[in-house]
Amino acid sequence: MVQISNMLIPALIFYIVAMGLSQRKDIYHCFTRGAKEGMRTVVGIVPTLIGLMIAVGVLRASGFLDFFCKIAEGIIGGFMEGFPNELISLFVVKLFSSSAATGLALDIYKEYGTDSFAGLATSLALASTETVFYTMSVYFMAVKVSKTRWTLPGALLATFSGLIASVVIAGMMTGAR
């Protein structure tokens, strides 16, 4: 399997070059044109990425994220006694930044272990949810979409469903909850 995967990319490149030659296209020109368009896209989304990173930093530094998590802990604590509070922070941060959520996940793994309820719920949540605000801002900015209509409510509903499923499945796997 490793040999197949090592040969797959060179084979794909060879196939693309062969197809371009068979169609008598200037492959190098097509490549450089695509690279230029890619760089324009990167330059176009950089302000959005910087703004999003600043917004996440401000939310964390201002204490709003902690405040929001405390409120959520109180609500969830009424339904599920013993629910790890770190999961709430992870779920909120995952909406904005996957790398920050990964850092929180490592802390959860160190404290609770990977096979614990918290560890399994963390793994399932990271795998079944998306960084909603990051994804929307980057992709919509790249293609210049200004009317998002139902995208945000739909994405939040899908993410919330993924989080609930993560907690339920982790509970079933560990015998907790």
> In angstroms, rounded to a whole number, what is the distance separating the alpha carbons of residues 177 and 93?
24
Q: What is the pLDDT of residue 106?
A: 93
| Assigned token pair, 48 | 């959005």
Q: Report the greatest alpha carbon distance in the chain.
A: 68
Q: What is the pLDDT of residues 98-120, one digit of tens each?
A: 888 898 899 999 999 999 999 99
| Nearest Cα residue to 122 out of 106, 99, 137 | 106
Q: What is the pLDDT of residue 111?
A: 92
Task: Judge contact between 124 and 170, C-beta under 8 A.
Answer: yes
Q: Between these two residues, 156 and 78, which has the higher pLDDT value?
A: 156
Q: What Cα–Cα distance (Å) separates residue 26 from each residue in 10, 15, 114?
A: 20, 15, 52
**Residue 82 pLDDT exceeds 70:** no
Q: What is the pLDDT of residue 176?
A: 63
When pLDDT is averaged across residues 29-47 and rounded to a whole number, the result is: 88
Q: What is the pLDDT of residues 136-168, one digit of tens each?
A: 888 887 787 878 889 889 999 999 999 889 988
**Kindly report the CA angle at 34 between 28 and 37, in degrees rounded to 5?**
145
**Residue 127 pLDDT exceeds 80:** yes
Tell me, yes or no, if the pTM score tops 0.75: no
By three-state DSSP, how is residue 65 classified?
helix
> In angstroms, rounded to a whole number, what is the distance separating the alpha carbons of residues 113 and 63?
28
> In angstroms, rounded to a whole number, what is the distance separating the alpha carbons of residues 71 and 126?
22
| Residue whose entry in the numeric block shows the structure tokens 């629910």 | 83
Provide, rounded to the nearest whole percent, the portion of the chain with pLDDT above 90: 32
